[in-house]
Chains A and B, each alone.
Chain A
């Protein structure tokens, strides 16, 4: 096998080598019908949790669980995967429309807008999946309703002095008209809606809104909104809060059940300090008049800066020692250690401005800005600490426009809190800090249904513009694909200064893909690199926590901690280096048209920008894990409408593998039970190798058919593997002595790649379980990711495989997989009912990794009767979930195709194998 150097050309994470597949093509398969159907499946849509039958009593309208809380109607819910709109949001079309769609926080400098969107168009039911459910009766009554609606929450900012932009935006989206008060449309004529708003401008601009949009502003109490917004964010968004010490951000997971009481410090023009005891239970306990307005006001007078951001920007280059009197200045450079003050402690802000014969003009504006910033931040931190102490509160959250994700501000406040509390309290900040008020106003609509949202139902996505704008998105976001591409092109053409923090190999055909991003220095769009980005919040009520996780609270999907700098740099570089190749594939997948090339270029720029942004500020998109990174890449592809970059590769590979499957099955059937089990596991590990492509493997391909190569690699799987629990697994399966253990009731097989991996590796293993009477559920991606097989493709693959195998055929029939994929009139007997079913469910995600806190409700339902899960492949078994513990038995199978990961994880080498078997966790 090839050495570590071989993987340089290919994605060492989870990549295929198409050269290998092209070679394979000539060894070719005839089963072309499967390929066509796979294509068809891509363009069709899948129902998500669409239990129409169960919803029937509600006569197509919403079911009311209790009180006035709006309920979710899931009929006709669909994953939007059609060719027109390829956004992965799961749509829930048949809502009773009882949701508000727009709320505003109109402050002195910024207008913050939160709006909710969902898409009107939806596709037909997927008959096959519906039939599966009917046959299996798995559409049980456990999950008849969700309290909230699916859709997306968008966060947008406008400058208050450009309020017309904001009005235009609202108007263009028809946000004011369509659904701002839709639950009572009969009583309110069109255009007389009400928009909830908070902030001082809610009064000031009320007439303007009435005039321009014909809507009335309904003013919500500012404090109410702040608290409601903060409560929502802290409960519903994982890792919303973070600490900030010496430039390092660290996300904090807050237990929603242990949130209260806390201190909320809102630093606006002035500062309000609020003690929050619960939902709607709070008290303003203190405040200070030395706040953001003081900073800006004094700053303007002293520096001639025109904007707050300009002033803030200045402070980054300042040195406050020229103007502040430090303890060292008084004590001649020595610390006044007796009272715990170091020489660099500020004894008197602006204290040096008195003793020298300097005028205002003699001081650098940068220094003045920094002195001011330190003075005010420190003071806020101190007063907040004293109030937290007074009420015995452990947590202090800081928000408000003054903070703006500004690193120095946060550091200073944190330092003050830490200093005065002697390390016992920590200042925390919120990623969505600027939107507390707007979000709270949004929450104040009577029937928004957001209260019950849980963190696992929210997925935050970062659209393409994010890295360019930092945390400050001003003006309308770009919606249309063409707009996006044009924006990218225009932006780069402008010749904005480009930096390349990560080396980038030259791209091939597309001529793009360099690691390009406007630097924070050259860009007027972003004034502070440390400002965090705010993505679009996708509300996906159907997502659930995987019920078999032993300890969901302690669960961390990512195995590798990307907060470690060298890890982060390594993986970002890997992704960056692989980009040109990915662009090539993506463009090729769409026929290499001019349009595809243009989109490919835009994708490359956009994703490079994401990577550069994350290199510069790892916390920009929240807590960063490898799983997030890989998903970001897939999302970015989808954003530029590359639905399935590996489509053709997958098809070729599937066809080739299906062609040799009968031979393999025949070989397996000739073995003893014990030998077969080992061969099957070896086969899974061997087939998993097809997911990389070293030159050695390509050479092999010249010499033989896929089955020969498969067998050859299988033969190389010499035990003991680097992690080898096979004996324990075998004992569980076959027992040791005369006593035969009970077969598993249901096994969930989390599958990985298309082609050999699924067809020659996992399907034969699934077949073995079926043969033993175990129900098998193949768990596959909802959306394409690399060459991973998707849940939509699987029924066709299974159908094709079943043509040559009775066991698979009967199981697939029982599982309802053959309904319209393959008519099977030949034997037509009903003896099949004895077979346990083979089923397919989607996992709810479109990433090569899987975060088991957010899986489809289908999978969650399936998991309830499962007593074994098998995670296969690097993405799902190593990069994520390697350390996950489950309530049931778990088998983790993968070949490590990355030297660094092998060393880190198993102290081994590239191509080492992992076969980890874990009995149910008793925690």
Chain B
């Protein structure tokens, strides 16, 4: 018997894989059950989520002393924590870490090189069975549009055959996995304060999952494998970076985010106060600092693009997109009577101002009744979902 509860996670130190990677997420220590069935040998412990903008990787890295076979209870000494594995029975358990990496999709060559260099697609298999690399193809779970688009490339370059996992299914799988198994995965962020939220595993569903990638998907999740894409918007991370690039000459998402921190959107947004001469339009509940029209000041000025500070432009852009996502998410949560909204996806990147804006939007539109929550592993939901689908090919019911 195998289920996800056999996986043991704990936080570990920040993990830095190396220069090839753009950035890294916290890896998660894990004990990974190995199925004794022959099919196990055909699987890899690598999964990919190839989006329009970024490629996200989740892979399993073995600690070394992997063979705790047959133990019902095991101990890890890391961070002095003591954990128990239930119901492992006679299954072999691999102990190691789940590692996270990402690449820009346009730099897909780097990603291929990274996988090849570390033989990631053979991880686990090699250890378990000592199978040497050969010309046989290895199946790797992959999701995202790129799983289709780049299937041939991966096959040709790395001998990887994609098991294409449904994107939405993976997102939900990843989110459910994280919310149920990783303590302190979810948190709120308001007024600069991060607050972890303890989610009762038995009272998790239903919730709204908002995945902000290049575009935005909004998914109503009612259980493991029980979900529906109820909405979305094309104003997402791709819009931020795309428009941002055109407007500011920033080269990367992070650079754009970085400069937005120093910006002031008042220079370019038309505020309620700009229209009503500094007074609040209190009759309809709008304060003078509310944005009446994003980029609205750019129309009346005689200024050209060069006359605006890139910082201000980036800030306005960020607020526009974050606010819009927050609003549409709230309206959808309202529509289905959902109490919790989790935001994930690469747009957020734990970027404080982004989270703050989304939180404010949800707070504003719900009149304080709804709270935006974020996930620590937000960018890797899809990849994680693809990864866990090795173990849970079929939807589970609790």
Binary contact track B187-231/A, C-beta < 8 Å → 1, others 0? 000000000000000000000000001110100000000000101
Q: Which residue of A lies closest to B313 (CB)?
A: A301
Given contacts A290-B320, A293-B270, A383-B328, contact A347 B148 (CB under 8 A): no
Taking the complex as formed, is B305 at the interface, i.e. its CB lies under 8 A from any CB of chain A? Answer: yes
Let me know if A383 and B327 touch, CB within 8 A.
yes
Let me know if B294 and A390 touch, CB within 8 A.
no
Which residues does chain A contribute within 8 Å of B327, judged by CB atoms?
Answer: 286, 288, 383
Binary contact track B345-375/A, C-beta < 8 Å → 1, others 0? 0000000000000000000010000000000
Binds A, one of B18-26, B27-35, B118-126, B330-338: B330-338
Let me know if B292 and A269 touch, CB within 8 A.
yes
Let me know if B235 and A349 touch, CB within 8 A.
yes
- List CB contacts (< 8 Å) of A461-513 with chain B: none
> Bound state CA distance, A327 and B296, in angstroms?
30
> Bound state CA distance, A288 and B270, in angstroms?
12
Binds B, one of A353-361, A452-460, A837-845: A353-361
Taking the complex as formed, is B165 at the interface, i.e. its CB lies under 8 A from any CB of chain A? Answer: no
> Bound state CA distance, A355 and B51, in angstroms?
12
Taking the complex as formed, is B168 at the interface, i.e. its CB lies under 8 A from any CB of chain A? Answer: yes
Binds B, one of A182-190, A330-338, A543-551, A594-602: A330-338
Binary contact track B223-243/A, C-beta < 8 Å → 1, others 0? 000000101011111110111
Let me know if B294 and A297 touch, CB within 8 A.
yes
> Bound state CA distance, A297 and B270, in angstroms?
10
Q: Which of A286, A291, A293, A363 gathers most chain B CB within 10 Å?
A: A293
Which residues does chain A contribute within 8 Å of B283, judged by CB atoms?
Answer: 221, 223
Q: Which residue of B lies closest to A334 (CB)?
A: B148
Let me know if A286 and B239 touch, CB within 8 A.
no
Let me know if B149 and A284 touch, CB within 8 A.
no
Let me know if B233 and A382 touch, CB within 8 A.
yes
Q: Which residue of A lies closest to B284 (CB)?
A: A284
Taking the complex as formed, is A164 at the interface, i.e. its CB lies under 8 A from any CB of chain B? Answer: no
Taking the complex as formed, is B308 at the interface, i.e. its CB lies under 8 A from any CB of chain A? Answer: yes
> Bound state CA distance, A351 and B106, in angstroms?
12
Partner of B243, one of A288, A300, A353, A420: A353
Taking the complex as formed, is B264 at the interface, i.e. its CB lies under 8 A from any CB of chain A? Answer: no
Which residues does chain B contribute within 8 Å of A347, judged by CB atoms?
Answer: 52, 145, 214-215, 234, 238
Which residues does chain B contribute within 8 Å of A284, judged by CB atoms?
Answer: 284-285
Let me know if A360 and B52 touch, CB within 8 A.
no
B386 to chain A, nearest CB (A): 16
Let me know if A330 and B52 touch, CB within 8 A.
yes
Q: Which residue of B lies closest to A323 (CB)?
A: B242
A358 to chain B, nearest CB (A): 9
Given contacts A301-B247, A325-B215, A386-B331, contact A351 B295 (CB under 8 A): no
Which residues does chain B contribute within 8 Å of A325, judged by CB atoms?
Answer: 52, 214-215, 238, 242
Which residues does chain A contribute within 8 Å of B285, judged by CB atoms?
Answer: 284
Q: Which residue of A lies closest to B214 (CB)?
A: A348
Taking the complex as formed, is A379 at the interface, i.e. its CB lies under 8 A from any CB of chain B? Answer: yes
Q: Which of A325, A334, A354, A379 gathers most chain B CB within 10 Å?
A: A354
Q: Which residue of B lies closest to A292 (CB)?
A: B293
Let me know if A353 and B246 touch, CB within 8 A.
yes
Taking the complex as formed, is B166 at the interface, i.e. its CB lies under 8 A from any CB of chain A? Answer: yes
> Bound state CA distance, A325 and B229, in angstroms?
19
Let me know if A379 and B235 touch, CB within 8 A.
yes
Q: Which residue of A lies closest to B332 (CB)?
A: A386
Interface size, chain A (Cβ < 8 Å) = 63
Let me know if B293 and A338 touch, CB within 8 A.
no
Counting contact residues on chain B (CB < 8 A from A), the size range is: 35 or more
A89 to chain B, nearest CB (A): 39
Taking the complex as formed, is A524 at the interface, i.e. its CB lies under 8 A from any CB of chain B? Answer: no
Which residues does chain A contribute within 8 Å of B77, judged by CB atoms?
Answer: none
> Bound state CA distance, A325 and B216, in angstroms?
12
- List CB contacts (< 8 Å) of B83-120 with chain A: 104-106
Let me know if A289 and B269 touch, CB within 8 A.
yes
> Bound state CA distance, A272 and B241, in angstroms?
27
Binary contact track A365-402/B, C-beta < 8 Å → 1, others 0? 00010000001001100110011011000000000000
Which residues does chain A contribute within 8 Å of B245, judged by CB atoms?
Answer: 353-354
B252 to chain A, nearest CB (A): 9
Let me know if B235 and A290 touch, CB within 8 A.
yes
B285 to chain A, nearest CB (A): 8
Partner of A349, one of B231, B239, B297: B239
Let me know if B234 and A375 touch, CB within 8 A.
yes
Taking the complex as formed, is A352 at the interface, i.e. its CB lies under 8 A from any CB of chain B? Answer: yes
B306 to chain A, nearest CB (A): 10
Let me know if B299 and A293 touch, CB within 8 A.
yes
Taking the complex as formed, is B298 at the interface, i.e. its CB lies under 8 A from any CB of chain A? Answer: yes
Which residues does chain B contribute within 8 Å of A355, judged by CB atoms?
Answer: 52-53, 104-106
> Bound state CA distance, A332 and B164, in angstroms?
14
B14 to chain A, nearest CB (A): 27
B149 to chain A, nearest CB (A): 4
Let me know if B269 and A382 touch, CB within 8 A.
no
Let me know if B328 and A386 touch, CB within 8 A.
yes
Taking the complex as formed, is B37 at the interface, i.e. its CB lies under 8 A from any CB of chain A? Answer: no
Q: Which residue of B lies closest to A295 (CB)?
A: B295
> Bound state CA distance, A221 and B295, in angstroms?
24
Which residues does chain B contribute within 8 Å of A368, judged by CB atoms?
Answer: 246
Taking the complex as formed, is A324 at the interface, i.e. its CB lies under 8 A from any CB of chain B? Answer: yes
Let me know if B149 and A349 touch, CB within 8 A.
no
Partner of B275, one of A200, A288, A336, A348: A200
Binary contact track A176-212/B, C-beta < 8 Å → 1, others 0? 0000000000000000000000001001000000000
A61 to chain B, nearest CB (A): 40
Let me know if B328 and A382 touch, CB within 8 A.
yes
Let me know if A297 and B293 touch, CB within 8 A.
yes
Q: Which residue of A lies closest to B256 (CB)?
A: A354
Partner of B299, one of A297, A302, A324, A360: A297
Q: Which residue of B lies closest to A386 (CB)?
A: B331
Binary contact track A335-349/B, C-beta < 8 Å → 1, others 0? 010110000001111
B357 to chain A, nearest CB (A): 11
Which residues does chain A contribute within 8 Å of B284, judged by CB atoms?
Answer: 223, 272, 284
Q: Which residue of B lies closest to A385 (CB)?
A: B331
- List CB contacts (< 8 Å) of A306-333 with chain B: 308, 323-325, 327, 329-332
> Bound state CA distance, A823 and B7, in angstroms?
115
B242 to chain A, nearest CB (A): 3
Which residues does chain B contribute within 8 Å of A378, judged by CB atoms?
Answer: 234
Given contacts A301-B305, A330-B149, contact A350 B246 (CB under 8 A): yes
Q: Which residue of B lies closest to A374 (CB)?
A: B234
> Bound state CA distance, A2 and B105, in angstroms?
76
> Bound state CA distance, A356 and B52, in angstroms?
12
A65 to chain B, nearest CB (A): 34
Given contacts A330-B145, A386-B328, contact A297 B239 (CB under 8 A): no
Taking the complex as formed, is B268 at the interface, i.e. its CB lies under 8 A from any CB of chain A? Answer: yes
Let me know if B149 and A331 touch, CB within 8 A.
yes
Q: Which residue of A lies closest to B248 (CB)?
A: A360
A376 to chain B, nearest CB (A): 9
Which residues does chain A contribute within 8 Å of B300, judged by CB atoms?
Answer: 108
A157 to chain B, nearest CB (A): 18
Taking the complex as formed, is B344 at the interface, i.e. its CB lies under 8 A from any CB of chain A? Answer: no
Which residues does chain A contribute within 8 Å of B239, judged by CB atoms?
Answer: 348-351, 375
Binary contact track B269-281/A, C-beta < 8 Å → 1, others 0? 1100001110000
Interface, chain A (partner B; CB < 8 A) = 108, 200, 203, 221, 223, 268-270, 272, 284, 286, 288-294, 296-298, 300-302, 304, 308, 323-325, 327, 329-332, 334, 336, 338-339, 346-356, 359-360, 363, 368, 375, 378-379, 382-383, 386-387, 389-390, 420
* 7 A-B pairs with C-beta separation under 8 A: A268-B293, A289-B293, A290-B294, A300-B298, A308-B299, A347-B52, A368-B246
Known: A292-B293, A293-B294. 9 other contacts (CB 8 A): A270-B296, A289-B269, A298-B295, A301-B308, A332-B149, A334-B148, A347-B234, A351-B52, A351-B234
Interface, chain B (partner A; CB < 8 A) = 51-53, 104-106, 144-146, 148-149, 166-168, 213-215, 217, 229, 231, 233-239, 241-243, 245-247, 249, 253, 268-270, 275-277, 283-285, 290-300, 304-305, 308, 313, 320, 323-324, 327-328, 331-332, 334-335, 365
